[in-house]
Chain A
Amino acid sequence: MSELLLELKDIKMYFPIKEKVFKKPVNHVKAVNGVSLTVRQGETLGIVGESGCGKSTLARTIVGLLEPSSGDILFEGKSILGYNKKQMHELRRDIQMVYQDPYTSLNPRMKAGEIIAAPLKAFKMTSNLNERVYELLDLVGLKREDAEKFPHQFSGGQRQRIGIARALALNPKLLILDEPVSALDVSVQAQVINLLEDLQEELGLTYVFIAHDLSVIKHIADKVAVMYLGKVMELSDSDTLYHHSKHPYTNALLSAIPLPDPEKERQRQRIMLKGELPSPANPPTGCIFHTRCPIAQESCKQHIPVLEEKDGNNPNHQVACFYPQETETIASSQ
């Protein structure tokens, strides 16, 4: 098995809620509440969850845009949290990010070529600058002439390609992809997913892929973490998760996805979740999912389940639930 590249240890990210400026915070939004994950070299870790589950906040802590309230982040075995400005600058060479919105993440006044060259200039890698920009454009399937165009002259899918080229400029080891395809039309979405897969193979990249769409994650990820209210509910290799998920939340998520197949769709038993996501400022006691869980027991309200192995045969499959059970969620006839 390949080496560990990234290790998250019990990451917590609390944002203070202040009623008055200069006064002590009255409460905290617990956006990420104790997440531990590992990513191996060359692997794709998928993180899924609904809006507000803390997946984007987690991504921001990994790239150093936010400093976690507690916990530790190890990159290639070294803790990066104590890094000073200079060390952080060097680290950005290795960890890069691709953002969700291809419309706002590119400066409208810069030409595509300039956008892609920006990270190279920041690291003073300006010898053969133009050649490198052309090479990157080629890598993401754009033409040389495109370097002279402005972002508004591109379609959404092409803009996302520019964002990817920019992220690849410094030959990073780890790419954090925050919903990279969710703003794109389905026909274009497949183009970008294929591109990301090719690049991973070609350049030996490691991905942390964040999405709310479980079908996209299934296609691209080796390992999947399902998040709910700042915690990981289930963690497993992708195959196991989609066929033998055990956490009632994962089961509900899987069963809520409409399948593009009318017959399967009409035969399916859907697990309906009641209610809505509770506030992360006042998460429920005990198991945070108990308020919406279809199989919650009295004890779930008091005790907090830990993320642990529930299946003796598969040590990679971890579930945070007292009553894990497999349910038929996808009509899996071929």
Chain B
Amino acid sequence: MLEIKNLKTYIDTENGTVKAVDDVSFQIKAGETICIVGESGSGKSVLAHSIMQLNPSPPVFHPEGEILFEGKNLLDVSEKELRRVRGNEISMIFQDPMSSLNPVFRVGDQLIEAIRSHEKVSKKAAKKRALELLTDVGIPDPERRLHDYPHQFSGGMRQRVLIAIALAGRPKVLIADEPTTALDVTIQAQILELMRSIQKKYGTAIILITHDLGVVAQIADRVLVMYSGRIVEKGSVSDIFYRSTMPYTWSLLRSLPRIDSDTSDRLIPIQGQPSNLIDRPKGCHFSPRCPFATKACLEIDPSLTERGEGHWAACILSEEEFFNKKQEFEVNAQKGAVK
């Protein structure tokens, strides 16, 4: 339904050009959930904003590549057409529920405004629809809550309101940028459950951006792993969690403290810091931090190659080499030789 082809979003800064999104391609089908994971600065939010073309320009250059939605390239259409697509076809939920609502307007008015900007309906009909939406997203006593101001809502409730606003135009694709990061775990569980039930009811395709691999495991059908502006691995959720062939993905999973394992072993962190997006290392961008890096990695910049059906990874190691290195690493870790 939505297809991204060779998308490039560059940002102009004083120190040089940041390749925030560098040649990213993927597609999403109706009713599917794709998670984009990566650390801060990996370009995942810029990617999401590029799809909606919400990046401020300048400093962000107009994205290159193609964003095909139902056959049309959104990068070529007029601003007017784009406005119709935003909200009606593709809609977005942001990370911070505290700052995404206007504090001086009643929640009901903000919701009704969203509905009326998508559909030509009377105020009365819009109010009816607003009540439906609030009920849909699980806000108790919606009739009364319509008249409340944002500060009277808790974080979780505000996120529900934002989801209601995002759903106002009955979008086919919902992009959620870290929708639960600012929330407590018990509330996060409620919001994820809500997103799943909405997807079931309306067949919405969801693109969820997160850094939490637990959330990914819970909700994703397919996963894109980003590192320094690029997709370094993509595949089904089990490809990524059980059959990863990319050292970055594997190291990320390995570095997590987990409540479901009994080992009180030392954690194995990824050494160093995420790479600088302006002055990126030559060769593979992950090579300076990669536990398996060879000399060749410093020279060759690997592209995505297919490892299984729909499973792609960017690493010069073959599956077998990767497997051997992994075993060697685990043996060393057992001995305590890995710092």
The answer to whether B190 touches A258 (Cβ under 8 A) is no
The answer to whether B253 touches A260 (Cβ under 8 A) is yes
Question: Bound state CA distance, A262 and B262, in angstroms?
Answer: 18
Question: Bound state CA distance, A256 and B255, in angstroms?
Answer: 21
The answer to whether A185 touches B274 (Cβ under 8 A) is yes
**Contacting residues, chain A, for B184 (C-beta < 8 A):** 50-51, 212, 277
**Contacting residues, chain B, for A51 (C-beta < 8 A):** 184
The answer to whether B257 touches A215 (Cβ under 8 A) is yes
**Contacting residues, chain A, for B257 (C-beta < 8 A):** 189-190, 193, 215-216, 218-220
**Contacting residues, chain A, for B220 (C-beta < 8 A):** 262
Q: A263 on the interface (CB 8 Å rule)?
A: yes
Within 8 A of A (CB), among B306-332: none
The answer to whether B39 touches A256 (Cβ under 8 A) is no
Question: Bound state CA distance, A189 and B251, in angstroms?
Answer: 13
Question: Bound state CA distance, A263 and B156, in angstroms?
Answer: 27
Distance between A126 CB and nearest chain B CB, rounded to angstroms: 33
Q: A298 on the interface (CB 8 Å rule)?
A: no
The answer to whether B266 touches A259 (Cβ under 8 A) is no
The answer to whether B156 touches A265 (Cβ under 8 A) is no
Whose C-beta in chain B lies nearest to the C-beta of A157? B273
Q: A332 on the interface (CB 8 Å rule)?
A: yes
Distance between B279 CB and nearest chain A CB, rounded to angstroms: 15
Q: Tell whether A197 pairs with B266 under 8 Å between CB atoms, given A212-B184, A265-B217.
A: yes
Q: Which of A50, A188, A331 contacts B269 (CB 8 A)?
A: A188
Question: Bound state CA distance, A127 and B52, in angstroms?
Answer: 60
Question: Bound state CA distance, A6 and B211, in angstroms?
Answer: 36
Question: Bound state CA distance, A260 and B218, in angstroms?
Answer: 8
Q: B189 on the interface (CB 8 Å rule)?
A: yes
**Contacting residues, chain A, for B77 (C-beta < 8 A):** none
Question: Bound state CA distance, A41 and B92, in angstroms?
Answer: 50
Q: Tell whether A265 pairs with B273 under 8 Å between CB atoms, given A212-B185, A259-B258, A270-B189.
A: no
Question: Bound state CA distance, A311 and B252, in angstroms?
Answer: 38
Q: Tell whether A186 pairs with B252 under 8 Å between CB atoms, given A259-B214, A262-B238.
A: yes
Q: How large is the interface on A (under 10, 10 to 19, 20 to 34, 35 or more residues)?
A: 35 or more
Q: A104 on the interface (CB 8 Å rule)?
A: no
The answer to whether B188 touches A190 (Cβ under 8 A) is no
The answer to whether B238 touches A188 (Cβ under 8 A) is no
Q: Tell whether A330 pairs with B260 under 8 Å between CB atoms, given A186-B255, A273-B186.
A: yes
Distance between B195 CB and nearest chain A CB, rounded to angstroms: 13
The answer to whether A219 touches B251 (Cβ under 8 A) is no
Q: A252 on the interface (CB 8 Å rule)?
A: yes
**Contacting residues, chain A, for B289 (C-beta < 8 A):** 187
**Contacting residues, chain B, for A185 (C-beta < 8 A):** 39-40, 211, 274
Q: A242 on the interface (CB 8 Å rule)?
A: yes
Within 8 A of B (CB), among A145-159: 155, 157-158
Within 8 A of B (CB), among A211-248: 212, 214-216, 218-220, 242
The answer to whether A258 touches B186 (Cβ under 8 A) is no
Q: A253 on the interface (CB 8 Å rule)?
A: yes
Within 8 A of A (CB), among B141-190: 154, 156-157, 184-190
B16-53 vs A, CB cutoff 8 Å, 1 = contact: the mask equals 00000000000000000000000110000000000000
The answer to whether B260 touches A219 (Cβ under 8 A) is no
Q: Which of A193, A214, A265 contacts B259 (CB 8 A)?
A: A214
Q: A143 on the interface (CB 8 Å rule)?
A: no
Q: B333 on the interface (CB 8 Å rule)?
A: no
Q: Tell whether A272 pairs with B213 under 8 Å between CB atoms, given A187-B255, A197-B266.
A: no
Question: Bound state CA distance, A212 and B182, in angstroms?
Answer: 12
Q: A70 on the interface (CB 8 Å rule)?
A: no
Question: Bound state CA distance, A214 and B260, in angstroms?
Answer: 11
Whose C-beta in chain B lies nearest to the C-beta of A155? B273
Q: A304 on the interface (CB 8 Å rule)?
A: no
**Contacting residues, chain A, for B304 (C-beta < 8 A):** none
Q: List 15 A-B contacts (CB under 8 A).
A: A50-B184, A186-B252, A186-B255, A189-B257, A193-B257, A215-B257, A216-B257, A220-B257, A253-B185, A258-B189, A258-B217, A261-B241, A262-B220, A276-B156, A276-B187
Known: A257-B259, A259-B214. 16 other contacts (CB 8 A): A186-B211, A190-B257, A190-B267, A190-B268, A193-B257, A194-B269, A214-B185, A242-B259, A256-B188, A258-B192, A259-B259, A260-B256, A261-B260, A262-B220, A270-B189, A273-B190
